[in-house]
Amino acid sequence: MEIFDTPAALRAFAFAARAANRKIALVPTMGNLHEGHRSLIRIARPLADEVIVSVFVNPIQFGPNEDYAAYPRTWADDLAACEEEGATAVFHPTVEAMYPEGKPTTYVTETAISPFLCGASRPGHFNGVCTVVTKLFMAALPDVAVFGEKDFQQLAIVKRMVRDLDIPVEIVPAPISREADGLARSSRNRFIPEGMRPQALSLRHALLAAKAAWDGGERDAQALERILRDTVAREAPDGVVDYARVSDAETLVPLTGAIERPALAALAVKVGPPRLIDNIVLGR
Ligand code: AMP
C-alpha cells in the first residue's frame, strides 16, 4: 500500500495508473475509520484496480464554533484499517499541503440542495465539502468514488456537482452501517456521554416509527415529521433537535402535505456534545 501526502504525489500515481489502463476508485474520509468507512472500501475494491482512501480532516468544512480541533485523529489505526481492507493507496496530506495559500478564495458551491437540513444549520459547510471533494478528484483522478448514505445530503450534492461540472466520476452510494443496537456508526459517537446512549438511539427509533407509519399508508409529511419529533422528545428528553424533516429524496426540498414520491426522513439531534445525524428513505 502506497502512502502520499501531497496532491502532486498522488496525481503522479493516478496518472501512472491511468496510463496503464488501471481503474481508480476513491473513498474520501476524515479518518478515525470505523466499520462504516471499511464498508465503503469493501464496496470500492471490486470496482477498480486501485483503491485510494483519503484521510483528511478538512478545516474549511467546519464552522468557527464546530469541532474541528476536537475531531478525532487516529492515523496509525486508520493506516492499519486501510491495509486490512485492501486499499492500494492512502492519501494523508497536511492542511498546508492542501491549502498552501491558507483559506482558499475559490470555492465550489452547489446552490439548490445545499440550503436545507445540515446546510441550514452549518452555513458554508457544503461549500467546504464540494471544494475539498473537487480537489481530491483533481488529485486522485478517480473513475468512481464511494460516498455513504449516512451523509445523504452530501451524497446528493456531490452527485449534482459532478453532473453540473461534467466531472467524469461515477458516484457510488453505500448503505448506512450501524452498531448492533441500530445507532448509525460515526466518528462522533465516542463523544456521546456515558448513560446517554439510549437517548442517542432515539434517532433510529424515530426513523423506524416514521417508516412503520409510511408502510401503514401514512403519506402526510407533517404527520410523519410529528412522529419523528414526538419519538425524539419522548426518548431523548435531553436531546436538542436541530431538524426533523421529511424531504424530497432527490432535491431535498422540504415536503408538505401528501407525499407522492420517495421521501427522505432525516434527523439531526444534539445528544450531549455531539450532534448526531441519521436518515431513512421512505418508499424506496
Ligand atoms: P467522514 O469520515 O465522516 O467524513 O465520512 C467519510 C465517508 O464515510 C462519507 O462518505 C460518509 O458518508 C461515510 N460514512 C460515515 N459513516 C458511515 C456509516 N455509518 N455508514 C456508511 N457510510 C458512512
Q: What is the pLDDT of residues 34-69, one digit of tens each?
A: 999 999 999 999 999 999 999 999 999 999 999 999
Distance CA 10, CA 90 (A): 9
Decide whether any atom of ligand 1 lies within 6 Å of the 30 Cβ.
Answer: yes
Residue 9: predicted pLDDT: 99
Decide whether any atom of ligand 1 lies within 6 Å of the 185 Cβ.
Answer: yes
The Å distance, Cα 37 to ligand 1 centre, comes to 6
Decide whether any atom of ligand 1 lies within 6 Å of the 186 Cβ.
Answer: yes
Distance CA 147, CA 125 (A): 17
Using an 8 Å Cβ cutoff, are 109 and 33 in contact?
no
DSSP letter for each residue of 147-210: EEGGGHHHHHHHHHHHHHTT---EEEEEPPPB-TTSPBP-GGGGGSPTT-HHHHTHHHHHHHHH
Residue 186: predicted pLDDT: 98
Residue 170: predicted pLDDT: 99
The Å distance, Cα 267 to ligand 1 centre, comes to 16
Distance CA 83, CA 42 (A): 12
Residue 111: predicted pLDDT: 98
**Minimum-distance ligand 1 atom for the alpha carbon of 154:** 12
Residue 277: predicted pLDDT: 98
Is 205 part of the annotated catalytic residue set? no
Contacts of residues 101-106 at CB distance under 8 Å and 24 or more positions apart, as own/partner, are 103/60, 104/60, 104/131, 106/131
- What stretches in the chain show pLDDT beneath 70? none
Distances in whole angstroms, Cα of residue 74 to Cα of each of 17, 55, 78: 28, 10, 6
Residue 10: predicted pLDDT: 99
Residue 69: predicted pLDDT: 97
- DSSP character at residue 23: -
Using an 8 Å Cβ cutoff, are 190 and 207 in contact?
no
Residue nearest to atom 13 of ligand 1 (CA): 148
Residue 278: predicted pLDDT: 98
Residue 20: predicted pLDDT: 98
Distance CA 81, CA 31 (A): 10
Nearest to 186 by CA among 276, 269, 271: 276
Decide whether any atom of ligand 1 lies within 6 Å of the 150 Cβ.
Answer: yes
The Å distance, Cα 81 to ligand 1 centre, comes to 14
The Å distance, Cα 36 to ligand 1 centre, comes to 6
Residue 201: predicted pLDDT: 98
Using an 8 Å Cβ cutoff, are 259 and 245 in contact?
no
Residues 198, 201, 205: CA angle, nearest 5 degrees: 125
Decide whether any atom of ligand 1 lies within 6 Å of the 54 Cβ.
Answer: no
